[in-house]
A and B are shown apart, each in its own frame.
Chain A
Amino acid sequence: MNTPDDLRYTATHEWLRREGDAVTMGITDYAQGELTDVVFVEIPEVGRHVSAGDEICALESVKAVAYVYAPVSGTISAANERLTTEPELVNQQPYGDGWIVRLSPDSPEKTADLLDAAAYRQKVEMAGSSH
C-alpha cells in the first residue's frame, strides 16, 4: 500500500494534493486495490459547485461501484477526460495520471484538517487491511 507523505487523505479513501489555491484529487492506492480493475469512470461536470461530503462522480470496477466524495466544499475546475478511454490509469497510477478531478476549494485552508499519510495508514490498518 503506497501512501505518499506529501498528500492529504480522507476516511473514504480519497487523496488530495494542494497546488496553490487548487487541489487535485483521486482515490488511494489502497482503494484501487480493493476495487480491482476500474473499468468506467463517470466524468463530472466542470463548473459544478459541491459541498463537503457530496458525491462527485461514480467509479465502476469489475467488483463494485464506488463514489468519489468531495472532502471540502468547492467548485470542480477540471476533470480527467483521459479516464473515459483509459480507466485503468486509476489502478496503474492512482496518484499520477489516474487523478480524477481538480477542485477550487471555497476555503483552501480547510484541507489542512484532513488526514495526513500516517493517520490514513493507521485508519486502513485498523480497518483490517487485507494486504
Chain B
Amino acid sequence: MPAYESPLVSAHVELGAIMTEFADWRMPVEYSSVAEETHATRHAAGLFDVSHMGNLHVLGPGAAAATRELVTRDVTAVPPCCSGYALVCNEKGGIMDDLIFMVTSESAVGLVVNASNHDKDVAWLNQHLAFHIQVELEDLRGRSFGIALQGPRSEEILRSTNIQGCFPDLFGTFAQMRLARVNVVVSRTGYTGEDGFELFGAAEDALPVWQTVLSFGRDFGLVPCGLAARDVLRQEMGYPLAGQDINEETTPLEAGLRWAVDWTGDFVGKSALEHAEPARRRIGFVMGEHGIARHGAAIFRGDEQVGRVTSGTYSHNLGAAIGQGYISASAGLSASDEVEIEVRDRRMKAKLAKLPLVPKKTRLSWARSERRTK
C-alpha cells in the first residue's frame, strides 16, 4: 500500500476512477478515457488532482535570498505573488529536480516539487538552509491539496463558482482567494500548456473545492482527468518529467532549459554550467509507424545510434505516437530530420520535431508583461 493518499480519494472512487500508485501516493490514473480527457483539456477544460506534488515553504527573514542559492532562477528579483519555473542543480550542474517557485515576499517562498523527488529535495534543502539560521523549511506533505483546472474554459468555470478575491490575470501570478467557503491559493500555472489554474489549500478543504469546481464546470465541458492524461498533455508540450527526461546526469543546457537559468547571482551548479559544453540535446519526435517508442529506446540515423528516447506516448490530439529524447550534438540532426527508433525489437520510422508539438496557449506571463512596459 502506498504511504500517502490524496484527500480526494473518496471522490475519485465515487467517480469510477482507476486508481494507481505513483511515487508512494494513491492517485487516479484514468476516469473515462485518455482520449476523452486529453481532448476535453485542449478544447474545454480538465480537472486534475495534483495533491501528490510536494508543497514546501521556505520561511523567515532572508528566505528568498536563501532559496536563490539553491535554484536556477533569481527569486530575489521576482515580485510578490509571482511564480515561475526553476531547476535545482547539484554542484556538477546536473538536474536534481524541477519546481515551481511561488514568491509571497522576501521572507516566504513556496516550492512545488515532484512527488518522486520529495524526500531528496527536503534533505537537500534542509542541508543547505542550515546555514541560514532564521530560515526554516515547512513541508505540508499529507496536510495540503493541489487541484489543477486546465483548458481554454478554465477562467469562465472558476468565475462561475462565485470565487471571491482578486483574480490572477497574468500567467505565473497567484492570489489568496475564497472558494466554496474555504481559503484557496489560486495560481495561474499548469503542466498542460493551456490557460488554467492550480489551486492549493488545506487537505480538509479539498473535497468542497473539487466538488464545487467540478459541478459548476460540467456545463462548460469540464471532465475529471487522471495522471495518464496529464502525462500525455505534458508530452505534447515537450515538458520534461523529472527523473525521466531530466536527471542528475543531464544539465539544463542539454535539456533545452537555458531559459530557466538566471546567471545573475550565485547558485549551486552555476560554475559547472558556465563551463559546460552540451554534447547532446533534448528534442521531440513523431512516429511514422504504429508503435510507441518508450523510455530507453535507441534512436538511429542509418546504422549509427544517435540518441535515446526518454518519454513516449500516444497523442489522440495529434493522431500519432510522440515522444522526446536526447540526440548527440555531433550527429548534426535537427527538427524534421528522419530517424529510426527501436520499438519491440524492430526499427520504426520517426521524424524529429521541435518542442512543443502542440502550440502553447498560456496567458501572457508577468515576466513578459513587465518587459513590455519597460
Which A residues form the contact surface with B (CB < 8 A)? Answer: 33-34, 36-37, 39-40, 42, 58, 60-63, 65, 88, 91, 130-131
Contact = CB atoms under 8 A, between A and B. Distances in A.
A61 B34 CA distance: 10
A62 B18 contact: no
Interface residues on B, range: 20 to 34
Interface of B: 18-21, 29-30, 33-35, 228, 231-232, 290-292, 294, 313-314, 316, 321, 344
Listed residue (A34, A36, A37, A60) with the most chain B CB atoms within 10 angstroms of its CB: A36
Given A62-B34, A65-B292, A65-B294, A37 B18 contact: no
Given A62-B314, A130-B18, A37 B294 contact: no
B284 to A, nearest CB: 17
B337 to A, nearest CB: 24
A36 B36 CA distance: 12
Contacts of B344: 58, 65
Nearest to A84: B290
B292 A36 contact: no
B35 A33 contact: no
A34 B18 contact: yes
B227 to A, nearest CB: 10
- Top 3 nearest A-B pairs (CB, nearest first) are A39-B314, A37-B34, A40-B290
Given A62-B313, A130-B19, A36 B290 contact: no
Contacts of B291: 40, 60
A60 B314 contact: yes
B19 to A, nearest CB: 5
Nearest to A60: B292
A120 to B, nearest CB: 18
Contact of A130 (B20, B35, B294, B316): B20
Contacts of A61: 314
Contact of A40 (B18, B19, B33, B292): B292
B321 A36 contact: no
A36 B294 contact: no
A62 B228 contact: yes
A63 B30 CA distance: 11
A36 B19 CA distance: 11
A91 to B, nearest CB: 7
A78 B325 CA distance: 38
A57 B251 CA distance: 39
A40 B21 CA distance: 25
6 contacts: A37-B228, A42-B290, A58-B344, A61-B314, A62-B232, A130-B19
A131 B18 contact: yes
A1 to B, nearest CB: 10
A91 B29 CA distance: 15
Contacts of B321: 39-40, 60
